Structure formats: structure tokens, C-alpha cells
Amino acid sequence: MRKNRFLGVWTVLVFAFLLLPLVIVTITAFGEANVVQFPIQGFTFKWFGKALSSNSFMSACFYSLRLALVATLLALLVGIPGAYALARYSIKGKQLIKSFFLSPTIVPGTVLGFALFQVIVVQLQIPYDIGLLFGHFLIVLPYVIRIVGSSLEQFDFSIEEAAWTLGCGKIKTFFTIVLPNITSGISSAFLLAFINSFNNVPVSMFLIGPGTTTLPATLMGYLESGYDPTVPAFSVLMMLATIGIMFVVEKTLGIAALSK
């Protein structure tokens, strides 16, 4: 019994270590002073107002949302057919192709960012935001391949064959039979891809330009140059959004969908 208590205390400490820093960030967002300090003096909501009316934060936020959405949709558009082909057909070099699709995960973010910057922006003179978009596409594609792929592996393809025999066309079968059966996989792939693109820093650092800067890069910039509690205030808003997403996921897919 005593050992069990030791484990319990250990676990409480580990989880306190995980939560306390974020609690501290949250508290510092409410201080009245112009500097981020803990414990805080006074209590105010003014930094939230400032965060929401800050042009640089808000435009970066909308840019990041757009970027994450487009990169994720592109990855789904390319990844779902790819994952389908890999799960459905016997293909020569199947493992190799799958590893190729998953290979962006082994390339460190700063390396990918630098390589894209060097080739797309410097050598080919293609605008920054195109490089940024495809950089994010590469980061999120493995999520789609992995998660949609594992949904498809559990799908019973004899149902699809039944539809074919009954005269349903291949494309129509895919959209009316296969796709509805893997929606939960697609949803969790979408969410994880979106969140990871939205949060990415290393790839973005090389590919942001004037007017096309992402939210994490903007936050980094503030942290490196001097900042007031608008930074924790905006952090709190982002964490609230995350909690909102987690709540919806828990009610629909189950929270385990986010730890794949």
C-alpha cells in the first residue's frame, strides 16, 4: 500500500509539472502592470481587449487559420486517394511508397524550412507564401496518410465490392460507401493536421514574409523584443480555443482521437 501511495504522489507531481506553468501564464494575463510578472498586482481584463484589437496579432491569427485550413485540405485531397490506393490494392513497392509519404516526419522542421526557402524562394523566385503553404502541406501529409490509412485498414472492402456488383460505379461507390465509413478517421486527421500546422514554428520561421506572418512567429517576435501581458492574454485565448476543440472532440470522436 505504501508503494502505491508513492506512485500516486509521483503522478500528482508529474501532472502538476504539466499544468502549473500554463496556469501561471493564465494568471499573468490578468495583471495590471505593464510587465509580465507573477504574482500579479491588481486584476484587469484590459490585456484581452488589447490582444483582440491588436492588428499584428489578429491579422497573423487569421493568416495562420487560413494557412492551416488550405494546407490541411490540400493534404486531405492528396492523402485520402493515396491512402486508399495503398490500403486497397496490391502495389509494387507498397511499403516504400508509404514510407515516402511519411518521410517528412524524419526531416527536422528547420531543415525543411531552410531547404524550401533556399530552393523555392531564393533560386526559383517563387513567392514566400507558396513555399510556406507547401511546407505546411508536407508537415501535415503524414498525419493524413497514417490516420486515414489505419481507418481504411479496418474497413471491410467486401462492402465496396458488393456495391460494385450491384452496379454502382467505382467513383460513386467511393463517395457513398467508402468515405462515409472512414469519416471519424478523416475528422481526426483533419483536426490533428490543422492544429499542427497552426502551431508550427520551425518551418514557418524561414518562409514568413511581410504580410504573410503566422501567429506563432508573431508571438516569438514579441517574446524576443520585449512584451507586455498582451502575450499571455493572447496565449489564454489560444488555450481556450484548444479546450473548446477538445470538448467537442470528446463529445463526438472521443478524446483518444487527438493522441494518434
Partner 1 sequence: MKNQMKYLLLVPGIILLAVFLVMPLLSIFLPTIFTEAGVTLDSYIQFFQDPLNVRIFIRTLRVALITTIICVFLAVPAAYYMSRCKQSVKGILMTISIFPLLTNSVIRSFAWITILGRNGIINQILTSIGIVEEPIQMLYTEFAIVIGSVYLFLPLMLTTLAGVMDNIENDMMEAAESLGANRLVAFLKVILPLSLPGIIVGSTLVFTGTLSAYTTPQLLGGNSNTVMATFIYEKSMSLGDWEGTSVIAVIMIITTVIAMKVLNTIANRLDKRGGDNA
List binders of partner 1 among 189-218 (CB under 8 A): 195, 198-199, 201-202, 205-206, 215-216
Candidates 8, 169, 209, 244; binder of partner 1 (CB under 8 A) is: 8
Shortest reach from residue 147's CB to partner 1, in Å: 15
Nearer to partner 1, 59 or 205 (CB): 205
Part of the chain binding partner 1 (CB under 8 A), chosen from 8-16, 46-54, 55-63, 158-166: 8-16
Q: Quick check: 142 binds partner 1 (CB under 8 A)?
A: no
> Which three three-digit cell numbers place residue 72?
490541411
- What's phi and psi for 209, nearest 5 deg? -130, 180
Show the CA angle centred on residue 166, arms to residues 162 and 171, nearest 5°. Answer: 80
Nearer to partner 1, 107 or 181 (CB): 107
Q: Quick check: 253 binds partner 1 (CB under 8 A)?
A: no
Q: How far apart are CA 65 and CA 195, in angstroms?
A: 9
Q: How far apart are CA 209 and CA 239, in angstroms?
A: 26
Q: Which residues of 60-99 are buried (b: 16+ CB within 10 A; e: fewer)?
A: bbebbeebbeebbebbbeebbebbbebbeeeeeeeeeebe
Q: Quick check: 138 binds partner 1 (CB under 8 A)?
A: yes
- Mark out the alpha helices in the chain (DSSP H runs): 2-28, 46-53, 55-88, 94-102, 109-116, 128-154, 157-165, 170-173, 179-181, 183-199, 202-207, 215-225, 230-252
Q: Quick check: 157 binds partner 1 (CB under 8 A)?
A: no
Please give the residues from 167 up to 186 whose contact with partner 1 meets the rule CB under 8 A: 170
Q: Binding-site residue total for partner 1 (CB under 8 A)?
A: 84
Please give the residues from 57 up to 116 whose contact with partner 1 meets the rule CB under 8 A: 77-79, 81-82, 84-86, 88-89, 91, 97, 100-101, 103-104, 106-112, 114-116
Beta bridge partners of 63: none
What does the per-residue mask of binding to partner 1 show for 18-57, with x meaning CB under 8 A? xx-xx-xx--x-------xxx-------------------
Q: Quick check: 248 binds partner 1 (CB under 8 A)?
A: no
Shortest reach from residue 49's CB to partner 1, in Å: 20
